[in-house]
Amino acid sequence: MENKLGRTLPADVMEQLQLTPFQTTEIGNPEVQRTAPQVRLSTGNDKVTNDLKKIIQENVHDGMTISFHHHFRNGDFVFNQVMKIIMELGIKNLTLAPSSLTGVMNDVAIEAIKQGTVTAITTSGMRGSLGDAVSHGLLAKPVIFRSHGGRARAIENGEIKIDVAFLGVPNADRCGNANGSYGDEAFGSLGYALMDANYANKVVLLTDNLVDYPNTPASIKQTQVDYVVEVDQVGDPDKIGSGATRFTKDPKNLKIANLVSDVITNSSYFKDGFSFQTGSGGAALAVTRYLRAAMEASNIHASFGLGGITNPMVELLEAGLIDKLMDVQDFDKVAAQSMKNNLNQQEIDASWYADPDNKAAMVDQLDVSILSALEIDTDFNVNVLTGADGIIRGAVGGHQDAATAKLTIICTPLVRGRIPSVVKSANTVVTPGSSVDVLVTERGIAVNPQRPDLLAQLQNVPGLQIYSIDELAELAQQIVGTEAPLEFTDRTVALVEYRDGSIIDAIKQRKD
Amino acid sequence: MENKLGRTLPADVMEQLQLTPFQTTEIGNPEVQRTAPQVRLSTGNDKVTNDLKKIIQENVHDGMTISFHHHFRNGDFVFNQVMKIIMELGIKNLTLAPSSLTGVMNDVAIEAIKQGTVTAITTSGMRGSLGDAVSHGLLAKPVIFRSHGGRARAIENGEIKIDVAFLGVPNADRCGNANGSYGDEAFGSLGYALMDANYANKVVLLTDNLVDYPNTPASIKQTQVDYVVEVDQVGDPDKIGSGATRFTKDPKNLKIANLVSDVITNSSYFKDGFSFQTGSGGAALAVTRYLRAAMEASNIHASFGLGGITNPMVELLEAGLIDKLMDVQDFDKVAAQSMKNNLNQQEIDASWYADPDNKAAMVDQLDVSILSALEIDTDFNVNVLTGADGIIRGAVGGHQDAATAKLTIICTPLVRGRIPSVVKSANTVVTPGSSVDVLVTERGIAVNPQRPDLLAQLQNVPGLQIYSIDELAELAQQIVGTEAPLEFTDRTVALVEYRDGSIIDAIKQRKD
């Protein structure tokens, strides 16, 4: 079975899971029935406990779906604490549905799979030993990779039905009012976790910082929380986010960032009130600073910046060059602090950010989106999930979601070491080429042929070398030579959903 | 059929509507399945229109349930605008499910009932000509009166299924992000309307103030809104709320307020970190100022104030005597302004405020609640809905909800003119006596016999005259004499729900 992008999908698995192949980036205007949780009533007076084991014993049962958020990133102490107790209790056959999996969770996740505690996973991403193990067939059922917006969609329409959500928070009161802004392990926006809080049948908060009732602002509300579990520590502050996202000094990244800025400022979208999302990649971050100079020079300000928020975006907000930051996640401590202090930095949940099954997601209002890539193929399809070795080592994140912008720019070095980024065929397609407008590499740019209007805007810009994407792929190949194609078994280890729930690609088990 | 309070309920209507009689104030810990709306997907780019008629024509059909909020109070221009078009279009058989009905809506509501446009109503209250007409049998089906928490419950579990909500807002952006804080008709908290925004299948915002995208803070979010209709004016700023709630000068009210303060400050609940809700009645408001003096003298501060927020509560917040105000509604402009400017005044929705089918409503955390009454009977049951003439002229409001406080104080003059407030049997019971602890009148107080502990705390307080409630009822009767009992037909014109959805009383058609 092939989808519209010519990606081969496993017919048997597709049928068994009642999945449909990717067709189009157009969502249309159908009506969708939302789902809702089952709520156990409480006056709120018996929520606090320090007996995590008892809570797990009473609420987690074989075959359930449990979830976590990844806002603590590599400083997370919650996932491992909870999963170890679940394994100890001999609970089996769980589906793991976190917003994403970070490296610090890998050892315990692998052990849980080996023990049969976890038999299914849906996540935004995985890396390191877990990605490697799954790529080599550790998990019997295929992992379902979903974008942040796709996860919100699946939770809101019941495709992901979370029985118990374990949500670590840097503060909570005795009834469960909590936010991500205060406490030693503050990380800022609770954007992804707000979905779990709103839709899981049971919500268990874990915190090391029980504060006076009522705790405000309450991003997570007492109406959503069943238990408040006091633990020794929910995370390692030093590993949650860097102090301030650092400005890249890599000349290649600076070159790319400069070119991206040129593309934006010479496009028709660079006008007063424009909006944009940058990722957290080295080049993407540098773009913000180049943009700033151009905005100041042209007396142009932005209506909003979206997505994972970083220090450079906060600087633009504070300089009055952006009106609002719409904040689903904070990548550094400066951004997290700013959300607490600046009323114009609004916390948004993953649905508001990017759920396509929605009365309007923020991503659909984006003018400019700057995204990275592991690979981009000559149809502009982008891979951010598997490496050149076919091993899972990335995350869908908000990539598909933000690619709905009017001007979606993929920025990547042409080659990384001996590995080409621009290729004839990507190992995995995460974001369809039809939603990508421009590729920027340090050697030059390529404009998607479906955008002759953009090409016209950019073709006489001094210093902007425009190639066809085939030319850039050939250039990359000239530099690194041709590798033998990777070998895979027939077994599907993961399926990649497009944001609308259709299947955009399958990842096969590595043969080695 | 009689319920636990001995109130006669119409067996046929009860059976037909599958309703259960009131049993107990205890809610317990059952599990409840929440409901969710049907969502029509949109990118958000086609929401703005000035053609209200077209929107109504396309979305409102015979037999549907439509809703409004009452945050504009008597300054509301939204209800009448919408209802007139609905009548003009000949739409019939609608259920009207507003958060409440204010006097300014009466004429149009009566006309809509007469035309068969509206054939069923659920509301918190009604007054004036509409209350009179319904009490005399205008509407074929009985009105269902619900508390603010009860309405939230019924919306969340699907008993009220809103097809289209028409929500007036003092500002909105083109995608539907809106709040109650900015604009000429700002009223502060959108607490009641947030339920409609979250659960209605279709949400139509009406505004006269289209602001730049994205509008923050977004109390109502673009993810919830289908249409943004531009109209000339959504309300009359002068009639939305007074500039600042005025301090009563009525000596009787001041006496009552002073006694209420004495009851509170001499009870075991008056300690550092206590919480309270006052209503907006003359005496209730004055209590806040007496309390302030006592709090300052005793060096006691409150953890939170709840409910409809008023100027005197804001003064306590600003003086550091209250940590947080939890704000479902603002009764005056000072309170509305304060929510915008003070991070410790948190907007809450009606579910968080008071839905009993919840993982914890704020009202269940209240220490002290000060409530008014039209009548209180010798079992401490309270009527806030019908007058001494048996005519509907009030609202359930948050009365039942806040009566869950540890110390619930009903304050009322013993008589009003020739009308007794303390009676053997109330015309209508809204709040069960078992949730009421103390009655305070200007002549003295009565303590519910189920609270000997409270009696012990209060009985030696200088100046606090303690009577049995029967003695107070007799005293009232001595003052005003005995009236002939009212005459009613057998027809039920309204049912009063307790906050859990059981029926606490029925209101019969007046015979005259």
Q: State the pLDDT confidence band at B102, using cuts at 50, 70 and 90.
A: very high
pTM higher than the cut 0.95 = yes
| b/e burial code for range A232-244 (CB count within 10 A of at least 16 → b) | ebbbbbebbbeeb
- The helix (H) or strand (E) run that includes residue A426 is none
Residues from chain B that touch A44, judged by Cβ atoms under 8 A, are 359-361, 364-365
Average pLDDT over residues B76-80: 98
Q: Which of B214, B364, B365 sits opposite A326 (nearest CB)?
A: B214
Q: What's the confidence (pLDDT) of residue B245?
A: 64
Residues from chain B that touch A221, judged by Cβ atoms under 8 A, are 352
Say whether pLDDT at A93 is over 70. yes
**Residue of chain B nearest A340, judged by CA positions:** B343
Average pLDDT, chain B: 96
Q: What's the confidence (pLDDT) of residue B243?
A: 65
* Interchain proximity A359–B44, CB inside 8 Å: yes
Residue count of chain B = 512
Say whether pLDDT at A24 is over 90. yes
Neighbours of A356 (CB within 10 A): 26
First to last CA, chain B: 25
| B407, two tokens | 């110390």
Q: What's the confidence (pLDDT) of residue B248?
A: 79
Q: Which residues contact B46 (CB under 8 A, 6 or more apart)?
A: none
Q: Which of A39, A344, A358 sits opposite B359 (nearest CB)?
A: A39
The DSSP line for A440-482 is EETTEEEE-TT-HHHHHHHTT-TT--EE-HHHHHHHHHHHH-P
Q: Which of A30, A35, A352 sits opposite B36 (nearest CB)?
A: A35
**Residue of chain B nearest A213, judged by CA positions:** B303
Residue B268 one-letter amino acid? S
Strands A274-278 and A143-145 turn out to be: unpaired
* CA dist., res. B174 & res. B209, Å (int): 10
By C-alpha distance, which of B230, B183, B234, B176 is closest to B202? B176
Say whether pLDDT at B289 is over 90. no
Say whether pLDDT at A429 is over 80. yes
* Interchain proximity B32–A38, CB inside 8 Å: yes
Q: Which of B38, B213, B226 sits opposite A33 (nearest CB)?
A: B38
Q: What's the confidence (pLDDT) of residue A248?
A: 79
Q: What's the confidence (pLDDT) of residue B285?
A: 79
Q: State the pLDDT confidence band at B449, using cuts at 50, 70 and 90.
A: very high
How close does chain A come to B132, measured CA to CA in Å?
38
Average pLDDT over residues B392-408: 97
**Residue of chain A nearest B200, judged by CA positions:** A34
The residue ranking higher by pLDDT, B244 or A36, is A36
Over residues A473-488, the pLDDT tens digits come to 999 999 999 888 889 9
Residues from chain A that touch B35, judged by Cβ atoms under 8 A, are 36
* CA dist., res. A36 & res. B198, Å (int): 12
Average pLDDT over residues B364-393: 97
Q: What's the confidence (pLDDT) of residue B354?
A: 98
First to last CA, chain A: 25
Over residues A69-89, the pLDDT tens digits come to 999 999 999 999 999 999 999
* Domains in chain B: boundaries: 251-489
Residues from chain A that touch B29, judged by Cβ atoms under 8 A, are 40-42
* Interchain proximity A365–B175, CB inside 8 Å: yes
* Interchain proximity A42–B359, CB inside 8 Å: yes
**Residue of chain A nearest B343, judged by CA positions:** A217
Q: What's the confidence (pLDDT) of residue B192?
A: 98
Over residues B120-132, the pLDDT tens digits come to 999 999 999 999 9
Q: Cα separations (Å) of A509 from A10, A134, A427, A487, B234? A: 12, 8, 12, 9, 61
Average pLDDT over residues A406-425: 96
Residues from chain B that touch A33, judged by Cβ atoms under 8 A, are 36, 38-39
Contact assessment for residue A353 and residue A385, using Cβ atoms and an 8 Å cutoff: no
* Interchain proximity B223–A360, CB inside 8 Å: yes
Q: What's the confidence (pLDDT) of residue A92?
A: 98
**What is the 8-class DSSP label of residue A245?**
P
Over residues A322-337, the pLDDT tens digits come to 999 999 999 999 999 9
Over residues A178-199, the pLDDT tens digits come to 999 999 999 999 999 999 999 9
Q: Which CATH class is domain A251-489?
A: alpha beta
Over residues A111-169, the pLDDT tens digits come to 999 999 999 999 999 999 999 999 999 999 999 999 999 999 999 999 999 999 999 99
Contact assessment for residue B424 and residue B446, using Cβ atoms and an 8 Å cutoff: no
Residue count of chain A = 512
Q: What's the confidence (pLDDT) of residue A252?
A: 92
Report percent pLDDT > 70 for chain A. 99
CB pairs under 8 A between A and B: 171
* Interchain proximity B30–A44, CB inside 8 Å: no
Residues from chain B that touch A361, judged by Cβ atoms under 8 A, are 44, 223
Q: State the pLDDT confidence band at B284, using cuts at 50, 70 and 90.
A: confident
Say whether pLDDT at B343 is over 70. yes
Say whether pLDDT at A231 is over 80. yes
Say whether pLDDT at A512 is over 90. no
* CA dist., res. B119 & res. B92, Å (int): 8
Over residues B13-34, the pLDDT tens digits come to 999 999 999 999 999 999 999 9
Residues from chain A that touch B30, judged by Cβ atoms under 8 A, are 40-41
Q: Which of A28, A36, A176 sits opposite B41 (nearest CB)?
A: A28
Q: Which of A29, A226, A352 sits opposite B223 (nearest CB)?
A: A352
The torsion angles phi and psi of A446, rounded to 5 degrees, stand at -130, 135
Q: State the pLDDT confidence band at A208, using cuts at 50, 70 and 90.
A: very high
| A216, two tokens | 């405000």
- Quote the distance between the C-alpha of residue B497 and its chain's center: 13
In three state form, how does the secondary structure of B83-146 look? HHHHHHCCCCCEEECCCCCCHHHHHHHHHHHHCCCEEEEEECEECHHHHHHHHCCCCCCCEEEC
Residues from chain A that touch B33, judged by Cβ atoms under 8 A, are 36, 38-39
- Quote the distance between the C-alpha of residue B334 and its chain's center: 20
By C-alpha distance, which of A389, A472, A396, A392 is closest to A431? A396
Sign of CA dihedral B455, B457, B462, B464: negative
Q: State the pLDDT confidence band at A244, using cuts at 50, 70 and 90.
A: low
Residues from chain A that touch B351, judged by Cβ atoms under 8 A, are 223
Over residues B41-72, the pLDDT tens digits come to 999 999 999 999 999 999 999 999 999 999 99
* Interchain proximity A356–B41, CB inside 8 Å: yes
Say whether pLDDT at A464 is over 80. yes
Q: Which of B221, B324, B358 sits opposite A352 (nearest CB)?
A: B221
